Amino acid sequence: MEKAPFEVGDIDLNEVACETEKFFSAFSAFEVDLSTSITPEPLPIRGDRIQLQQVVLNLIVNATDAMSEMPRAERKVTIRTTRIRDLAEVSISDAGPGIPPNKLKEVFEPFFTTKAHGMGMGLSIVRTIIEAHGGHVVAENQAGGGAVFRVTLPLAKMHGNATDRQVKAA
């Protein structure tokens, strides 16, 4: 099996989050209240749009799955983007039961799953994609309940300066 090409381009993480939310909402049979909180400032990054959409979609589906046993009215997922210094962040939070504290570090390991029907590869693939983009992903439990997955990626640098050319040449 051949790997799909990694097509790096200039993209806005806000657009990736919004496009993925629209896709999920249009084609989803999940009964969940999905909301967004998108920062008004652009979050320019360098990356593969399709792979980053897959990351966000996977995290939304996982959040939705985590709430499958809850009453419909309590199922809430929020996609939020923000800038933290020289990083762009997208977070996906849910109102589910959270992650057992002793399992927080294991959730990104291949074949680890809490789902009866899961293969345990989704979050491992998420981590691989994000790390290939020079970023990080973490899982945390929220104080008020539920879990949040935070993906941080480096903001794109201005093109054309000497430092940028040296990094590309390395």
Reported as a single tens digit per residue, the pLDDT across 126-135 is 999 999 999 9
CA distance from start to end of the chain:
29
Q: Determine, yes or no, domain membership for 2.
A: no
Q: Determine, yes or no, domain membership for 102.
A: yes
CA angle, 38 as apex, 58 and 100 as ends, to 5°?
45
CATH number, domain of 106, equals: 3.30.565.10
Strand bridging mode 147-154 / 136-141: antiparallel
Residue 162: C-alpha distances to residues 44, 87, 153, 154 (Å):
19, 21, 22, 18
Q: Determine, yes or no, domain membership for 1.
A: no
Q: Determine, yes or no, domain membership for 89.
A: yes
| Domains: count for the chain | 1
Question: What is the pTM assigned to this prediction?
Answer: 0.85
Q: Which residue has the tokens 């999940």?
A: 30
Q: Determine, yes or no, domain membership for 51.
A: yes
Average pLDDT per 10 consecutive residues for the chain, totaling 170 residues: 70 97 83 94 96 96 91 95 97 95 83 60 90 96 94 82 36
Q: In terms of residue numbers, what domain contains 54?
A: 9-169
